[in-house]
Amino acid sequence: MIYAAVALIIFLGDFFLKKYIETHMEPKKHKSVCGGRIVLHRYHNRGAALNFLEKSPNLVRNLCGGLLLALGIVWALLLRKKDNPGVLLGLSFLLGGGGSNLCDRIAKGYVVDYFSFRTPFPWINRVVFNISDFMIFLGSILVAVARK
């Protein structure tokens, strides 16, 4: 049950952050926080990571939905065994983050991204993220490292 709670907390946390950004931030406006190291903004990503396939949002939505369904099935099967907590936690991160982004794609046709970093590397500064993106990344690493 804890793994379902983790996925739900990630999903709901990012859902409400996205909702806040959509209602409280003007498009193309920026707000620096954390001493200027993080910049908040409202960005609509119609493609996958780094706007990959942005001209094909239906394809991206369907691919993401299919992957999420497959991960959900694997998660449910592994949940019954409970023999690899690291993989289950990683899959929970993937399901929570992926579910939040898929919900955006279905409801809005785009994913709401809302923060970027200020670093010495200009190419990193141009990338806009949301919490779900980090959960997907972290979940992928956990699954890769924890699998038997």
Instruction: Provide the residue range defining the domain that includes 138.
Output: 2-146
Amino acid at the residue 3: Y
Q: What is the tens place of the pLDDT at every residue in 46-96? A: 887 767 777 777 888 999 999 999 999 999 999 888 788 999 999 999 999
Tokens 């001209």 belong to 55
**pTM for the whole thing?**
0.90
Q: What is the pLDDT of residue 148?
A: 65
The residues near 46 (Cβ < 8 Å, ≥ 6 apart) are 54, 57, 60, 109, 110, 111
List, in order, residues 6 or more apart from 64 with CB less than 8 Å away. Answer: 48, 98, 101, 102, 105
CB neighbours of 70 closer than 8 A, spacing ≥ 6? none
Q: In whole angstroms, what is the distance from residue 36 CA to residue 100 CA?
A: 27
* Count of domains forming the chain: 1
Tokens at 21, concatenated: 């950004």
